[in-house]
């Protein structure tokens, strides 16, 4: 089975509403067509890869940070003990037989299925091609055909749908306020209409995109014991020649990181058994002054703690999503790998 992709750090807030790297997030599958499976055999899938960005900037999907939460959930490669089947399909679906393109009339036919908790769902080419706000107009070929989504793209889509189904089973939802807060955090604005206009998609699709990201984030928080602390920001470098000059700003920066390890009333350490004392005890720190070197040392301690927590969270989340996906069956009707 292929190696599992690891969770990266939490996404940072965008400075402005500017598109970054395009990704193709996930959408709800249609359910009207049932493909017929080939004789079953277990195969190890290729690692799930991020879909290629749309070439037309007027039809881009949402920027990368928006979809980190849900895409990371799906990048548990393979189905880890479940079934991943490659084969043709029939009964209202597209019979690919090695084809790499589809006509417009074939976009809504099933090219894959996934089964979870006894519920079988179809995946159409349109589902994958328009996932996360993309449009078929942005991916149409010069001859009017559409490239068949790759097996890895379909796998990512199906895995995300399974993770969302698990969240639904747990009763996890997202409120309008949570969606707005998430939009503000990711793109610096809660104005969904403006975001939709910027990315050339409709407002409902923007809402659905954020909603699913919030749901997956809440699922991760519910099932993982480790809480990821806020990623520390590096201290501002001093002006040339002022590297050794203590300032109140550096003192405030350090004390904010120290938390209950510092006694602000006494202006000294509250305890000497914490993570920071061993590193910072040799620096002169007061409530009103500290050097850049001390601030940088405090940052290194804080980032190390953040990195350790991130690694632990990765392991917990990967283990959980792996256990969920192990109960899923995914059949893909394409052999295209890239």
Tell me the pLDDT tens digit for each residue of 108-127.
988 889 999 889 999 998 99
User: Mean pLDDT, to the nearest integer, of 281-307?
Assistant: 97
Helix axes 203-223, 151-169, angle to 10 degrees: 70
State the pLDDT at residue 23.
Answer: 37
- Which of 168-172, 200-204, 227-231, 326-330: highest mean pLDDT? 168-172
- Locate 127 and state its tokens: 């589902």
Which segments within 100-165 are labelled E, that is strand? 101-102, 110-116, 119-124, 146-147
User: Mean pLDDT, to the nearest integer, of 262-291?
Assistant: 96
Who has greater pLDDT, 294 or 18?
Answer: 294
Backbone angles phi, psi at 179, to 5 degrees: -65, -45
Q: What is the residue whose two structure tokens read 């090695």?
A: 98
The β-bridge relationship of strands 119-124 and 268-269 is unpaired
State the pLDDT at residue 69.
Answer: 41
Cα–Cα nearest to 74, from 52, 49, 53: 49
User: Mean pLDDT, to the nearest integer, of 224-231?
Assistant: 92
**pTM of the predicted model as reported, rounded to 2 decimal places:** 0.67
Residue 22 contacts residue 132 (beta carbons within 8 Å): no
pLDDT exceeds cutoff 50 at 322: yes
**Exposure string (b/e) for 118-155, b if CB count within 10 Å is 16 or more?**
eeebbbbbbbbbbbbbbbeebbeeeeeebebbbbbbbb
CA dist 126 and 49 (Å) reads 18
Distance of CA 218 to the CA centre of its chain: 13
- Locate 17 and state its tokens: 């509403």
Q: What is the dihedral of CA 143, 146, 151, 156, to 10 degrees?
A: 140
CA dist 151 and 155 (Å) reads 6
User: Mean pLDDT, to the nearest integer, of 85-101?
Assistant: 56
The length of the chain in residues reads 338
User: Mean pLDDT, to the nearest integer, of 93-103?
Assistant: 73
User: Mean pLDDT, to the nearest integer, of 280-292?
Assistant: 96
User: Mean pLDDT, to the nearest integer, of 80-90?
Assistant: 38
Mean pLDDT value across the chain: 76
201: left (phi over 0), alpha (psi -120 to 50) or beta: beta
CA dist 153 and 111 (Å) reads 12
Give CA angle at 54 (92, 143), nearest 5°. Answer: 60
Backbone angles phi, psi at 140, to 5 degrees: -70, 140
Backbone angles phi, psi at 269, to 5 degrees: -65, 135
CA dist 120 and 108 (Å) reads 17
CA dist 216 and 163 (Å) reads 8
Percent of the chain whose pLDDT exceeds 90: 42
pLDDT exceeds cutoff 90 at 224: yes
State the pLDDT at residue 155.
Answer: 86
Residue 169 exposed, middle or buried by CB count within 10 Å (0-12, 13-18, 19+): exposed
Q: Of 131-135, 170-174, 230-234, which range is least confident?
A: 131-135
CA dist 140 and 129 (Å) reads 10
Q: What is the residue whose two structure tokens read 């959930």?
A: 73
CA dist 222 and 245 (Å) reads 45
CA dist 334 and 96 (Å) reads 7
pLDDT exceeds cutoff 80 at 153: yes
Q: How far apart are the first and last CA of the chain?
A: 18
């Amino acid at each position: 089975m292929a190696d599992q992709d690891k969770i990266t750090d939490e996404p940072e807030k965008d400075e402005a509403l500017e598109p970054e790297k395009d990704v193709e997030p996930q959408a709800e599958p249609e359910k009207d067509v049932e493909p017929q499976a080939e004789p079953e055999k277990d195969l190890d899938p290729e690692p799930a890869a991020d879909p290629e960005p749309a070439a037309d900037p007027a039809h881009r999907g949402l920027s990368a940070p928006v979809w980190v939460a849900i895409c990371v959930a799906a990048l548990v490669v393979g189905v880890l003990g479940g079934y991943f089947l490659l084969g043709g399909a029939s009964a209202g679906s597209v019979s690919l037989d090695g084809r790499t393109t589809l006509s417009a009339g074939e976009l809504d036919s099933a090219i894959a299925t996934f089964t979870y908790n006894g519920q079988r769902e179809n995946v159409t080419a349109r589902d994958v091609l328009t996932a996360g706000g993309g449009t078929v107009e942005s991916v149409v070929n010069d001859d009017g055909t559409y490239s068949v989504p790759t097996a890895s793209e379909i796998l990512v889509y199906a895995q995300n749908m399974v993770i969302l189904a698990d969240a639904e089973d747990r009763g996890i939802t997202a409120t309008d306020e949570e969606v707005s807060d998430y939009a503000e955090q990711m793109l610096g604005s809660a104005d969904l209409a403006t975001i939709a206009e910027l990315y050339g998609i409709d407002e409902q699709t923007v809402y659905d995109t954020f909603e699913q990201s919030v749901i997956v984030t809440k699922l991760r928080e519910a099932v993982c014991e480790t809480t990821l602390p806020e990623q520390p920001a590096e201290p501002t470098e001093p002006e040339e020649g002022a590297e050794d000059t203590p300032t109140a700003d550096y003192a405030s920066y350090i004390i904010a990181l120290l938390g209950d390890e510092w006694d602000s009333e006494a202006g000294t350490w509250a305890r000497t058994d914490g993570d920071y004392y061993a590193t910072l005890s040799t620096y002169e720190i007061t409530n009103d002054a500290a050097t850049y070197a001390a601030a940088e040392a405090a940052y290194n301690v804080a980032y190390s703690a953040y990195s350790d927590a991130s690694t632990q969270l990765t392991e917990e989340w990967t283990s959980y999503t792996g256990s969920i996906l192990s109960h899923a069956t995914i059949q893909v009707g394409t052999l295209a790998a890239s």
